[in-house]
């Protein structure tokens, strides 16, 4: 989820470019850079402040492009920082997204004498546009020809040294907004850096290319045909724009679930062969075949993701799995050997206890893997191999989209390990097909957010809440309760539904509601029995059920419907209404869900 920004107009562009990058810092960053045709580029690792320190003060130009990088290919270094250029340093590109076929394109260009400096997928775009520019002698045509060769996602801005007033932008799966000013025009990843200059914008659609100069803008399709679209006026303030119009980052990030899953699985599923292609595991793929045991380590939400992964991997890959809280693992004396994998799950890649668990395992000669969202983070560097989430930065302290992404990554890992072993082609295909359908199914849930809001508001005066689930959704009961605790500050407990008679049932009365996770799966009837126990004691019940289930409409006080999927994938769907429930429960009470009291986003100390 990188940030791009560009300007062309009558003013000096440097302060505008730096101001734009500062407005985009909420999207996350590990490096930053700018390019102006008159004076070249400046790059730095880290925040925009680091970039400002490298500015000499004599950089001039009436147009330029700028970038904040959230790494997907290549470590966070100045070489890998954007903008990237061709061999002649005539074509410069900033890019948000992932070029899936960059290896094939790089090989094609290398054979034709192009020399690459970075390890990013973006540099391929600069060389490819340059390649077509040599052939077509036209900037616009070269960009369009290059984009027709590209597979993947992109939001880009391109500058050409010989036509400095002209900037070209394009979109495929990654947002691009064009600001229309008076004698000046802007390009950005979202409206936030534009709104202080103009509120007149054009939102590019997938497969569109726009050419801007200080006084004009032309929109093309990838077949070079020209189209017209009227500008629209945004009434948002800057802070609202950062949140894409949502009131809170937490809601925005829940609603990004479909996009997050698409980014996590993109290029990693070979559906017709029932396979998961995980490039980050290729170097240890053969070693993984001989592994006999997996220990998953995580903290908080990542720990609960690991619990779901335990069910997935044991049932479909046939490997024994244990899940450990990072803060406990490091103080135990775990029995591990060369046939054990330690799999660390962490959004930030900096969680102190999880990191120490990795170091302890490495001291004992154990193969270490990571599922990490932040490229170049400490855990990403110190593990032997792993999987990047590609979920983009998560601003809300209470993790939502990162958890969904972690579950998706664990399902890919399960498919990868299972097909190495005894999983059949038909089972692999069925899992891969269902994984591919997850983004649309999550959207079906988020489209009903107003219904979930009404249920949450109904129970918002409750001081206690019990969450119950079984098998794959046993960990989701824990995670759902955690979300409610984090943002609403009320007492909420997650429990295995089969444990009701062993204590929790004593708490139930008309003032102690229960949220039951009851999809139509192999333990459905058992869950129904538990709901009946609660209702017999006058407890209120909110049930999360599979569409088409009418039995629980009568037995429950309220129901929330989710689409049907494979049992192993159901947690990726059941967690979404629980996240929305927690969000609306807390906002009804007037609480700041993005910054819960006493909590921090990343726990980097004990």
Q: Is the peptide bond before 332 cis (omega within 30 degrees of 0)?
A: no
Q: Among 596, 597, 595, 593, which Cα is nearest to 583's?
A: 593
pLDDT at 300: 93
Please tell me whether residue 604 adopts helix, strand or coil conformation.
coil
Residue 54 known to be catalytic: no
pLDDT at 72: 65
* Euclidean distance between CA atoms 130 and 113, whole angstroms: 12
Helices within 296-446 (DSSP H only): 301-317, 326-329, 352-363, 378-382, 401-420, 425-446
Please give the torsion angle defined by the CA atoms of residues 309, 442, 4 and 592, in that order, rounded to the nearest 10 degrees: -90
pLDDT at 600: 64
Q: Among 305, 253, 55, 262, which Cα is nearest to 173's?
A: 262
Q: Among 308, 306, 300, which Cα is nearest to 473's?
A: 308
pLDDT at 394: 83
Residue 564 known to be catalytic: no
Global confidence as pTM: 0.77
Per-residue burial over 388-421, b if 16 or more Cβ lie within 10 Å, else e, is bbbbbbbbbbbbbbbbbbbbbbbbbbbbbbbbbe
* Euclidean distance between CA atoms 368 and 227, whole angstroms: 52
Q: What are phi and psi of 156, to 5 degrees?
A: -130, 155
* Euclidean distance between CA atoms 66 and 52, whole angstroms: 13
Averages of pLDDT over each 10 residues, the chain, 606 residues = 89 92 77 90 86 82 90 75 92 91 92 88 94 94 96 93 96 90 94 90 93 96 94 77 85 95 94 95 93 95 97 97 90 84 92 89 93 83 92 86 97 97 96 98 97 97 96 97 96 90 87 96 94 92 95 94 97 98 97 85 52
pLDDT at 171: 93
How do beta strands 541-546 and 293-298 pair? unpaired
pLDDT, one tens digit per residue, over 480-489 is: 999 999 999 9
Q: Which of 2, 401, 449, 540 is catalytic?
A: 2
DSSP 316: H
Distances in Å between the alpha carbon of 306 and those of 285, 300, 438, 484?
Answer: 21, 10, 19, 20
**β-bridge mates for residue 200, sequence order:** 233
Task: At 564, list the tokens.
Answer: 């049907």
Domains of the chain: 3-242 (3.60.20.10), 252-445 (3.40.50.10490), 448-588 (3.40.50.10490)
Q: Which of 11, 151, 231, 601 is catalytic?
A: 601
Q: Among 248, 236, 244, which Cα is nearest to 189's?
A: 244
How do beta strands 177-180 and 154-160 pair? unpaired
Question: What is 512-546 written as a DSSP string?
Answer: S-EEEEE-SSTTHHHHHHHHHHHHHTT--EEEEEE
* Euclidean distance between CA atoms 483 and 147, whole angstroms: 42
* Euclidean distance between CA atoms 361 and 295, whole angstroms: 10
pLDDT, one tens digit per residue, over 250-267 is: 999 999 999 999 999 999
**β-bridge mates for residue 546, sequence order:** 562
């Amino acid at each position: 989820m990188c940030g791009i920004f560009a300007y062309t107009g009558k003013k000096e562009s440097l302060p505008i470019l730096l101001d734009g990058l500062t407005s985009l810092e909420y999207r996350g960053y590990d490096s930053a850079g700018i390019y102006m045709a008159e004076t070249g580029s400046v790059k730095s690792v880290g925040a925009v402040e680091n970039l400002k320190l490298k500015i000499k003060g004599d950089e001039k130009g009436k147009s330029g492009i700028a970038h904040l990088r959230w790494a997907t290919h290549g470590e966070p270094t100045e070489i890998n920082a954007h903008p990237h250029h061709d061999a002649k340093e005539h074509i410069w590109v900033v890019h948000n997204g992932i070029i899936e076929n960059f290896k094939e394109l790089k090989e094609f260009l290398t054979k034709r004498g192009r020399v690459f400096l970075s390890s990013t997928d973006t540099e391929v775009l600069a060389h490819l546009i340059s390649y077509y520019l040599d052939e077509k002698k036209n900037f616009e045509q070269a960009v369009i020809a290059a984009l027709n060769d590209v597979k993947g996602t992109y939001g880009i801005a391109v500058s050409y040294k010989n036509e400095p007033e002209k900037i070209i932008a394009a979109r495929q799966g990654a947002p691009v907004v064009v600001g229309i000013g008076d004698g000046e025009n802007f390009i950005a990843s979202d409206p936030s850096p534009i709104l202080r200059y103009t509120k007149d914008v054009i939102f590019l659609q997938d497969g569109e290319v726009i050419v801007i100069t200080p006084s004009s803008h032309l929109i093309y399709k990838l077949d070079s045909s020209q189209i017209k679209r009227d500008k629209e006026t945004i009434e948002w303030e800057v802070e609202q724009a950062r949140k894409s119009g949502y009131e809170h980052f937490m809601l925005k990030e829940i609603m990004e679930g479909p996009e997050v899953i698409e980014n996590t699985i993109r290029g990693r599923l070979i559906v017709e062969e029932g396979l998961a292609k995980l490039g980050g595991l290729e170097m240890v793929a053969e070693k993984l075949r001989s592994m006999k045991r997996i220990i998953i380590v995580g903290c908080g939400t990542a720990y609960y993701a690991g619990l779901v992964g335990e069910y997935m991997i044991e049932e479909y890959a046939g490997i024994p799995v244990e899940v450990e809280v990072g803060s406990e693992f490091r103080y135990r004396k775990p029995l591990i050997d060369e046939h054990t994998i330690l799999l660390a799950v962490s959004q930030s890649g900096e969680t102190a206890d999880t990191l120490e668990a990795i170091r302890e395992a490495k001291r004992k000669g154990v193969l270490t893997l990571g599922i990490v969202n932040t490229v170049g983070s400490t855990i990403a560097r110190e593990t032997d191999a792993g999987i990047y989430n590609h979920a983009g930065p998560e601003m809300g302290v209470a993790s939502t989209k990162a958890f969904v992404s972690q579950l998706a990554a664990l399902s890919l890992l399960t498919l990868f390990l299972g097909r190495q072993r005894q999983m059949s082609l038909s089972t692999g295909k069925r899992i891969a097909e269902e994984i591919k359908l997850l983004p649309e199914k999550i959207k079906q849930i988020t489209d009903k957010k107003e219904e979930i809001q009404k249920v949450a508001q109904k129970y918002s005066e409750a001081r206690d809440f019990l969450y119950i689930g079984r098998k794959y959704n046993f960990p989701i009961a824990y995670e759902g309760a955690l979300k409610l605790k984090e943002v609403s500050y009320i007492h909420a407990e997650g429990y295995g539904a089969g444990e009701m008679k062993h204590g929790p049932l004593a708490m139930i009365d008309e003032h102690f509601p229960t949220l039951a996770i009851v999809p139509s799966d192999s333990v459905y009837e058992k869950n129904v029995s538990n709901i009946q126990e609660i209702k017999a004691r006058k407890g209120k019940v909110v049930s999360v059920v599979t569409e088409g289930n009418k039995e629980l409409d009568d037995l429950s006080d309220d129901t929330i419907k989710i689409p049907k999927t494979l049992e192993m994938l159901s947690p990726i769907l059941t967690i979404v209404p629980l996240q929305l429930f927690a969000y609306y429960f807390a906002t009804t009470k007037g609480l700041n869900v993005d910054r819960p009291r006493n909590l921090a986003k990343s726990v980097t100390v004990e």
